[in-house]
Each structure stands twice: as C-alpha cells, then as structure tokens.
Amino acid sequence: MAALQLVPQISLRNILFTTDFSGYAERALPYAVGLARHYGATVFVAHAIPPEPRHAIPLEPMPSELDELRFCAQRTMDTFVRSAPLAGVRYEVVLQKGATEIVFQEMVKKHGIDLVVIATHGRAGLKKLLLGSVAEEIFRSVSCPVLAIGPDVKRNEIAGGKLRQLLYACDLSAASLQALPYALGLAVHYGARLSCVHVIEEITALPLYYRDQVLRDARQELEKQVPSNAGLSREPQSIVVTGEPAEKILELARDLDAGLIVMGARHQGSARLMAHLPWACAHQVVCHAGCPVLTVRAGPQ
C-alpha cells in the first residue's frame, strides 16, 4: 500500500496587520493581503492607541465619545482603510487603547490570530539592532508567528500570491524545530522549493577530520527533519555551512533568491532588552533580509 502523503496543516484563518499609519506600516499591508487571499483569511487592521498619561490623582476614564485620542485614531484609520489595497479580502478594523505589548497580546487572544504581520525599521548595522519600538515589542511578546517586513525587503512574491524559494533556517534547537511545520506547510501550499540551512558557528580549532565529521553529522541530522512524504513538489535542499549565523543566513537567502525566510525565535524574558543583544540572530536577520522573515516563537527552553 502506498504511503499517505503527509501534507503539513497550518492554520492562517485570522491575520493581524498592525499599523501606526506610517509609510513603513503601509509597505507590510500587501503581504498580509496576499496571504489572506491565498488562505481565505480575515485581516484585522489594528492600531494601538497610546494610553493616557498617569496622574497623581486618579481620574475617571473618559467616555469614548469624548476621547480625543480615540477620535483622532478612528478618523486616521478610516482614511487609511479607504485607500488601502484590501479589495477581495475580509477585514475588520480594531482600535484599542493601552501599552503596545499588552494591547497586541490581547488582540491575538481575543480574535484567535494565527499570524501577525508587521513592518520594521532596522536602522542599524548588523551588530546593532533597532526594529522600531512597536515591532520589537510584538516580535518577542505575541504567542503566534510573526511575519516581519524589513526596510531592505525587495521581494514581493507573497504579496502577489506566489512563492518559489523558501529558506528554512534551523539550528536544530527546539525553538527552530517549532518553525518547521510552517516552512513545510508554506512550501507545500505554494509549491515552493524548500532549502533547509544549518549554520555551525566555529569549528576551525578542530582537526580537519573532526571538522568534516561534524559537518557530515549536522547534514544527516538536518536531513532527518523533513519527512520523506511531506508532500513537497520538489526534493528539499539541505545546506550546512560554517560562520556567523545571521550573516550566513542572509548570504544564502540572497544566493538562493529566497522569497521567504522561516526561523524560530527563542522566548526571552524582556522583549526590549533582548532585541538589542548582539546574539539575537532572528533580529539581525529581520533587520537586513531582502525578503520577508517569518519567525515562530518557542516557549522557555
């Protein structure tokens, strides 16, 4: 009896697109819309209204009809939606007042969000990270996967409903392996070529024989991760290289002409602090990738 095809099932029914009404945010919307069209999802167009400043004497909450911040946000959102490329997709507008990291976590839970789409600023060198304060908070705090559109993104295949080449960055940790179903599922649904990449940081101190053995073992372990009956249209490619992980992932994504990078993001205690540490590989890739980056957040290791 022939083996059943194991087609990875990923759910993208509800997509949260976050906007601060800037040009950066507008660049990310077509990717949310492209995925929504492909999966038949609903797009939640969301904005977090800044909370009121604290007062020495607590004041009663202002009625919504008299809340000037909310009124201005609603008016700006109405203008944004009228000009946004949302034709052909279901969408809902969500406005909520409060701290960014709390507001978007609540939205994810309340609306059953499967994916968050954000734009990032990435205004720094490879060793210094700055995604923009809103993106940083969302990137590390929400429980669902995040699709980040950085300032260097030129590839717009997903926005157009296509994906030819997908790069899955795997360090063989629990965090990166949680991203594998998304890499497989997207590759299957789009008919994309899947390239699995593992970067070993430093083995030059080892004798040549042992270096070769380490590379062979890593390749075998990487090849085990993709089921033989995953339903891919083409044989997946396994690549093991040595070097600095973020730099190599970005280099291979350029060489392969990848339309999407998928990788895990480890859970951290402080989103704002961890976003600026030099070994935050996922942040480095998001800041400088020429294509969108899908990060799947793992729990505490």
- The per-residue pLDDT for range 122-153, each reduced to its tens digit, is 554 434 444 555 676 777 678 899 999 988 89
Q: Taking the CB of residue 118, how many other CB atoms lie within 10 A of it? A: 29
Residue (of 214, 160, 211) closest to 190 by Cα position: 160
List domains and CATH numbers for the chain.
10-119 (3.40.50.620), 160-301 (3.40.50.620)
pLDDT the model gives residue 141: 73
pLDDT the model gives residue 301: 39
pLDDT the model gives residue 91: 96
- The per-residue pLDDT for range 238-284, each reduced to its tens digit, is 999 988 999 999 999 999 999 999 998 765 544 444 444 433 688 88
Q: Across-strand partners of 91? A: 43
For residue 113, pLDDT beyond 80: yes
Rounded CA separation 195/148 (Å) = 20
For residue 63, pLDDT beyond 70: no
For residue 53, pLDDT beyond 60: no
For residue 287, pLDDT beyond 80: yes
Residue (of 163, 125, 131) closest to 271 by Cα position: 131
* Residue 206 φ then ψ, to 5°: -80, 150
0.95 exceeded by the pTM?
no
pLDDT the model gives residue 260: 97
